[in-house]
Amino acid sequence: MRAVVFKSPYEVNVEQVEDPKIGSPRDALLRVTTSGICGSDLHMYEGRTGASPGIIFGHEIMGIIEEVGDGVVGLKPGDRVVLPFNVACGFCFNCVRGFTSACLTVNPHGVSGGYGYVDMGPYRGGQAEQVLVPFADFNCLKLPGSEEDELEDDFVLLSDIFPTGYHGAVLAGVFPGSTVAVFGAGPVGLMAAYSASLMGAGEIYVVDFIPERLEKARQIGAIPIDFSKGDPVGRIMELRMKSGLKPGEEKMPGVLCGVDAVGYQARDTKNPGKENPSQVLEDLARLVNPTGSIGIVGVYFTKDPRGVDDPARKGNFLLPWGRFFEKGIAIGMGQTPVKKYNAILRDLIVDGRAKPSFVISHRIPLSKVPEAYRKFDERTEGHTKVVIKPKMH
Amino acid sequence: MRAVVFKSPYEVNVEQVEDPKIGSPRDALLRVTTSGICGSDLHMYEGRTGASPGIIFGHEIMGIIEEVGDGVVGLKPGDRVVLPFNVACGFCFNCVRGFTSACLTVNPHGVSGGYGYVDMGPYRGGQAEQVLVPFADFNCLKLPGSEEDELEDDFVLLSDIFPTGYHGAVLAGVFPGSTVAVFGAGPVGLMAAYSASLMGAGEIYVVDFIPERLEKARQIGAIPIDFSKGDPVGRIMELRMKSGLKPGEEKMPGVLCGVDAVGYQARDTKNPGKENPSQVLEDLARLVNPTGSIGIVGVYFTKDPRGVDDPARKGNFLLPWGRFFEKGIAIGMGQTPVKKYNAILRDLIVDGRAKPSFVISHRIPLSKVPEAYRKFDERTEGHTKVVIKPKMH
Amino acid sequence: MRAVVFKSPYEVNVEQVEDPKIGSPRDALLRVTTSGICGSDLHMYEGRTGASPGIIFGHEIMGIIEEVGDGVVGLKPGDRVVLPFNVACGFCFNCVRGFTSACLTVNPHGVSGGYGYVDMGPYRGGQAEQVLVPFADFNCLKLPGSEEDELEDDFVLLSDIFPTGYHGAVLAGVFPGSTVAVFGAGPVGLMAAYSASLMGAGEIYVVDFIPERLEKARQIGAIPIDFSKGDPVGRIMELRMKSGLKPGEEKMPGVLCGVDAVGYQARDTKNPGKENPSQVLEDLARLVNPTGSIGIVGVYFTKDPRGVDDPARKGNFLLPWGRFFEKGIAIGMGQTPVKKYNAILRDLIVDGRAKPSFVISHRIPLSKVPEAYRKFDERTEGHTKVVIKPKMH
Amino acid sequence: MRAVVFKSPYEVNVEQVEDPKIGSPRDALLRVTTSGICGSDLHMYEGRTGASPGIIFGHEIMGIIEEVGDGVVGLKPGDRVVLPFNVACGFCFNCVRGFTSACLTVNPHGVSGGYGYVDMGPYRGGQAEQVLVPFADFNCLKLPGSEEDELEDDFVLLSDIFPTGYHGAVLAGVFPGSTVAVFGAGPVGLMAAYSASLMGAGEIYVVDFIPERLEKARQIGAIPIDFSKGDPVGRIMELRMKSGLKPGEEKMPGVLCGVDAVGYQARDTKNPGKENPSQVLEDLARLVNPTGSIGIVGVYFTKDPRGVDDPARKGNFLLPWGRFFEKGIAIGMGQTPVKKYNAILRDLIVDGRAKPSFVISHRIPLSKVPEAYRKFDERTEGHTKVVIKPKMH
């Protein structure tokens, strides 16, 4: 089959690789109908993770079951499914408590398992024609309808970015009527803002500096804040004070819920051309009101060969801890346990209450993937979110 | 001042009564701008509670502060506020845990305190020109804007039915994507369905038999079910199975979240002219799926002089307990602790995300109150929700 | 192999039956080292459930893995394990949310799956020399040590009654410093009281009328209440008022947390020889303070051929609903999802912080099982909790 | 009256100051029977906070009500009470949600209000003969008994360190059976370990280097770890692996719950004479298992005139953020909202289930306070926790 293979920083190829085969009675073999390119793939692509050449990329995967092992009881050939990006066993101490992002079984050498990602185990990625699904009963979410229907592009987002944005909103403590600020209007940030809206948030601010992304934020009812035009924290507080703090908020002109959907490659507000890995957390420390919460779904790594300085290369950053403490902020972070959310988000899609595919900017065949990586990495030509259709030519 | 006084079953008068006066340093005196007639007022009106003549009715109250005691620090004359129907002290063991509906201070002889209601303490009601607010700092929710603005009729619903509907949805465990059934499309049932929608519910069914009410349910995106046309449980399951159970729901064609917004005066499904106090709970026992939850905000009393039989007159009912147990249902019930929700719901109104006043059918002067009670009680002329404007003539 | 077979009401035999065999790649075959006789086995034994002859009883099972299917990855022969009484798949919508007591996969004809129990699927019970474990990775909890060690009898209680008692305390909302009343001092009631104590409860009352059981309650630091000596509700309130209500409790002389560990075969307080299925719930309605919670782990069935009256035979009971509503009580109930608790309770045993085996009164070989059922059913000779040792002679 | 007055770094005096007087109808005047010297008082004492001379110290206060204002309804002269160290109004948006540590009313210029502390408002401290209590109904917790009884020294700890230790355990997500590590065996660290034990924790490690403190940890059933004898993280993992990881923990030899009860004046593990403000957080990042939680109750300030370097002087520290993210750690921090816990902890004391006074090392008259500050600051002569008895001579 054909698959997207990482060759070296800034180079991926579409290559012919060996077909996957059922190995364990609990495996399923999936024909991929749609898979996504994720912002976190760019971390590997740019050589910012220590990923070795040869990895088949792709952890946002959906498709049709082609074959199942003898021990699979809940799936059969022809079933339409989407996979959480996390590979998980479903029975270990962590999985049972809902933390499939820290499965103790599937990756002996790391915290979590996943398809096509550095340090996440031996699982081949899904930017390919086929993929093998371990513990298939647990790792497949069944979908209604067929691959031709209009929900395909909504469903594929259940593999990662919709649940990840939702997780960000959950960790940020979003509740009906709450004030929310999302830093980053990339696909995950947009999904976080969209999720906050589904959860009943009152005011939602989205901070970025790319016009197309800010425009998408505006379209889903959020208030776009362009940090290249001045301090976003000051700007949000100003807007809130002007448009009317609610009674009781006079001492709290910030927001109660903050989402970091950017991570360690944050840009310096004063100089967007420069990287400043603490920028978003510093902004949130100023913006989030006392008693508030911060959800971090933008990635921070423990090693980054190209980090801005020595501590950064090991994942250490200078943070405004005194401020966080003074305000009594709660901070949640880490990889999303997709299985905790994917069924309920699927149901919202099926019910017509959520339509996350608005975030998708490009649909391409496998052959166009190398070019798409380049453009997505450069954020050119409106490359917000690219999905791959292996059947397309 | 003028006020609505209970005289005897089916009789209320508008009478001249003594003006309220600041008694404690923590009191505030409120000029009432809007107050509501509540379905629970009808329980007293019909002689179904043991309420004595002389009570000034009205526990849905908003207005303008006219005067405050020396010990009130957060309010001043001119402030616009809405009151929770519960009177509460704010400092007892229950209030501190959020249970203002079971304040230990304000009503030595009952579980909870409230304005103008039987067994809820000495507090005069707000279907009047003025009302005295005890522990005013705690019991007033400040509002932006002025009494002439277009939010007045949304804000008044923060005193009871909006938080009460919301509480029903909370007790029913509503979450994004959930399936919900609300029994009763009176004002509280409509607010429960509306709240479920704000919380991101997927499918919402509303059961009643009055066409105007079912029509309002439809207008807010719920699916109306007319029980006078056949078993509502069977009808909902049929609709769900036809329109497409989601994968995994095959064994669960009911709903996960049920709200009882009817209470002890439920009507018999097979014979709507007859009262059957267990009807709604029996229906919910059949309809709610295993692992589901039921929130009960329709009232059940411990004494009802006109109950259908001896046990019912003491608040005892025959219930399908084996069924609830088998399914592992969680049941929450009781008066709403309004203070837990009123600020966040106010914020949703201010942000333009909630507009609960759609439920209001009539706006009347004090002089029309006796007539309005009669019509509301008979559910005639579309009397869904009546609010009183003391200034109106 | 030999196994305990239900023949007819009040009759079980030890018989030679066919050996179990690995059927699916996900099965494991267990040699039983210890299994328990549960109070809920008595419901079948007495003909109070509609169970058919031929069932092999026993859902409290631990032992040593003898053989595993090809698809089992986390277990190997020789592993020591204990099984939750619920059989569950681990991957359906309910299992993933922690409700293994309502698995959608393992029992097409009922709410839940279990070993050796009426209406809980085709799974043979463990009062036998061997048992087959479906979905073995998910349904086995691994244990340290060996079958000869002194923790064997603590570990076997992880299959049902320790988690069930704990679940009762959880549903009753037990928190550090709380006041708790447990109705029933059978094995489950004792485990509920013991769990409340592990969770930091302040005062724990246990209500029963069998002296040996009340004595065990006393030994774990609970206050025994003998209902045959007078109204237990009045007695508890009296004790609380005398020994000192805490400040703020003056209006709440009851308890905040109530556990029903009795169920539908409750005895009448005034006449312990008579059954009164509403007795415990009536008592709890009087005893539990406003804002409190009730956890029900004593069983209520939907059919009972020998119920006290017609409604009772269908699982319908007359309940003090007005009282529950007035007090705003939260009620949780149903079968325990054992998997939610068994690992943490195992850890408490391993750490020496919990020693639940105090509840075991008898250890017997298979041959003595018929006699033990009779005596346990009659509560004679101190038969509180009987465990079977298939190896014993 | 006499009171302890801050003069300059390392200097406090006992001076004659003006008597407090009821100012608002909601004030109460308290005769102090016991008050504590807190580790956080030392931050001011050492000139590490920017506190100005003239402050009357003391935020751990209990005593007898002498007089109440006209608007106080729940207290009368003679009542025995203990105060939360936070001053709070009880009715603002934050107090109503339980965050009395971020009251919006009582301190216009800071996040929170408190007695006798820098930047926490105008409230005089309680290391004095009397103290004025604002919003007295809300800020006094009533106690049974009299000042002469043996619970006085337990009750005084309800003002701060017992709830603060408990809050640390709550933020660290302690649950029955959990593994816990507390850094710091000062009074708050010991209370955190003690609270974890009350909550049912399985294994509790306490890290410090002062022998008397480690000995107290041992006495309450925790495992003491002396960091001056080697890396505490390695030591705890070694102990856990040796004494037996539970099944499933093989990949998680750390702990699930970590408490930082040290704060910004942490000492360097390799060189205890040196300050290293990131030390504890670095240790926790290595020690806490994936999916775990960290509760921070040791203080981090936004300004520290004597910090180890420039960033530290502004409350910025270099932190292992990549590690926290990789593990998906939840971090909670900040001042304790005492009112959330003090009633239930009082009840545990009254019930004889908690006896926190084991932590108190010295009881002194006011005249000995200057000397006690010096010795407590030097941790000499076993000064773990000093309480002041104003009546003593």
Instruction: Look at residue A265 and tell me if it is in a domain.
Output: yes
Cβ-based burial of B261 (10 A; exposed 0-12, middle 13-18, buried ≥19): buried
Question: pLDDT value at position B337?
Answer: 98
Question: C22, C91, C107, C139: which to substitute to probe chain A, counting the most A Cβ within 10 Å?
Answer: C91
**Res. B352 pLDDT band, cuts 50 70 90:** very high
pLDDT in tens, A204-244: 999 999 999 999 999 999 999 999 999 999 999 999 999 78
Question: pLDDT value at position A380?
Answer: 86
Question: pLDDT value at position B393?
Answer: 81
pLDDT at B243 over 80: no
The verdict on D205 and D153 lying in the same domain is no
* A94 closest CA partner among D250, C167, D323, D282: D250
Which of A317, A333, A349 delimits the end of a domain? A333
Contact D246 C347 (CB under 8 A): yes
Kindly list the residues from chain D whose CB atom is less than 8 angstroms away from the CB atom of residue B137.
89-91
Domain harbouring B144, CATH code:
3.90.180.10
Instruction: Look at residue C180 and tell me if it is in a domain.
Output: yes
Distance of alpha carbon C265 from alpha carbon B152, whole angstroms:
55
Mean pLDDT of D243-255: 92
Question: pLDDT value at position A244?
Answer: 80
Question: pLDDT value at position B380?
Answer: 86
Token couple for A248: 């009781």
| Minimum CA–CA partner of A314 in chain D | D322
Beta bridge partners of C355: none
**Count of domains forming chain A:** 2
pTM, full prediction: 0.97
3-state secondary structure of C93: helix
The verdict on B178 and B74 lying in the same domain is no
The verdict on D44 and D88 lying in the same domain is yes
Token couple for D285: 């990042």
Question: pLDDT value at position A283?
Answer: 98
The verdict on A129 and A75 lying in the same domain is yes
Intra-chain end-to-end CA distance of chain C, in Å: 15
Which chains are adjacent to chain C, needing at least 3 Cβ pairs under 8 Å? A, B, D
Helix intervals (H) in chain D: 39-45, 93-96, 136-139, 152-155, 161-171, 187-198, 211-219, 232-243, 279-287, 310-313, 321-327, 342-350, 369-378
Instruction: Look at residue A393 and tell me if it is in a domain.
Output: no
Give exposure, A24-48, as e/b (b: 16+ Cβ within 10 Å). bbbbbbbbbbbbbbbbbbbbbbbbb
Q: For residue D265, what are the CA distances in angstroms to C59, D111, D315?
A: 55, 22, 11
Which chains are adjacent to chain D, needing at least 3 Cβ pairs under 8 Å? A, B, C
Mean pLDDT of B184-207: 97
Kindly list the residues from chain C whose CB atom is less than 8 angstroms away from the CB atom of residue A70.
24-25, 70-71
Q: Are C118 and C59 in contact (CB under 8 A)?
A: no
Kindly list the residues from chain C whose CB atom is less than 8 angstroms away from the CB atom of residue D346.
177, 246
Distance of alpha carbon A1 from alpha carbon A20, whole angstroms:
9
pLDDT in tens, C326-341: 999 999 999 999 999 9
pLDDT at D382 over 90: no
> How far away is chain C from the Cα of B256, in angstroms, using its nearest Cα?
11
Beta strand C362-364 pairing with C386-388 = parallel
pLDDT at B381 over 90: no
Contact C144 D246 (CB under 8 A): yes
Distance of alpha carbon D324 from alpha carbon D304, whole angstroms:
26
pLDDT in tens, A63-107: 999 999 999 999 999 999 999 999 999 999 999 999 999 999 999
pLDDT at D54 over 80: yes
The verdict on B144 and B189 lying in the same domain is no
Question: pLDDT value at position C49?
Answer: 87
Instruction: Look at residue B393 and tell me if it is in a domain.
Output: no
Question: pLDDT value at position A226?
Answer: 97
pLDDT at D92 over 80: yes
The verdict on B155 and B166 lying in the same domain is no
The verdict on A273 and A298 lying in the same domain is yes
Question: pLDDT value at position A232?
Answer: 98
pLDDT at D381 over 90: no
Distance of alpha carbon A142 from alpha carbon A82, whole angstroms:
7
Distance of alpha carbon D277 from alpha carbon D279, whole angstroms:
6
Question: pLDDT value at position C381?
Answer: 83
Question: pLDDT value at position A59?
Answer: 98
Instruction: Look at residue D393 and tell me if it is in a domain.
Output: no
Question: pLDDT value at position A258?
Answer: 98
pLDDT in tens, A144-157: 999 999 999 999 99
Question: A257, A294, A306, A326: which to substitute to probe chain D, counting the most D Cβ within 10 Å?
Answer: A326
pLDDT at A49 over 90: no
Domain harbouring C328, CATH code:
3.40.50.720
**Res. B184 pLDDT band, cuts 50 70 90:** very high
Contact D328 A102 (CB under 8 A): yes
| Minimum CA–CA partner of D302 in chain A | A322
**Res. D200 pLDDT band, cuts 50 70 90:** very high
**Res. C382 pLDDT band, cuts 50 70 90:** confident
The verdict on C92 and C199 lying in the same domain is no
Our measurement of the distance from residue B285's CA atom to the centroid of its chain's CA atoms, rounded to an integer in Å, reads 23
* D211 closest CA partner among D228, D231, D199, D194: D228
Instruction: Look at residue A258 and tell me if it is in a domain.
Output: yes
> How far away is chain D from the Cα of C243, in angstroms, using its nearest Cα?
10
Q: For residue B240, what are the CA distances in angstroms to A351, B177, B233, B235, C18?
A: 11, 14, 11, 9, 44
The verdict on A270 and A293 lying in the same domain is yes
The verdict on C231 and C376 lying in the same domain is no
Q: Which helix (H) or strand (E) holds C290?
A: strand C288-296
Kindly list the residues from chain C whose CB atom is less than 8 angstroms away from the CB atom of residue A92.
74
Which percentage of chain D shows pLDDT scores above 90? 94
Question: pLDDT value at position C217?
Answer: 98
Q: Are A7 and A36 in contact (CB under 8 A)?
A: no
Contact B323 C315 (CB under 8 A): yes
The verdict on A195 and A142 lying in the same domain is no
Q: Across the interface, which of A92, A101, A316 has its CB nearest the CB of D321?
A: A316
pLDDT in tens, A119-133: 999 999 999 999 999
H and E: helices and strands count for chain C: 13, 20
Distance of alpha carbon B391 from alpha carbon B365, whole angstroms:
7
Contact D177 C351 (CB under 8 A): yes
Distance of alpha carbon B206 from alpha carbon B218, whole angstroms:
9
Kindly list the residues from chain B whose CB atom is less than 8 angstroms away from the CB atom of residue A348.
176-177, 200, 202
Q: Does this complex have an ipTM over 0.90? A: yes
The verdict on C206 and C310 lying in the same domain is yes
**Res. A139 pLDDT band, cuts 50 70 90:** very high
Residue range(s) defining the domain that contains residue D305: 161-333
- Quick one: CA dihedral A322, A326, A329, A330, positive or negative? positive
pLDDT at A393 over 90: no
Contact A346 B200 (CB under 8 A): no
Which of C333, C354, C379 delimits the end of a domain? C333
Q: Residues of chain C whose C-beta is under 8 A from some C-beta in D?
A: 141-144, 175-178, 198-200, 202-203, 244, 246-248, 343-348, 350-351, 353
Q: Write down the residue that tokens 């987002």 correspond to.
A: A157
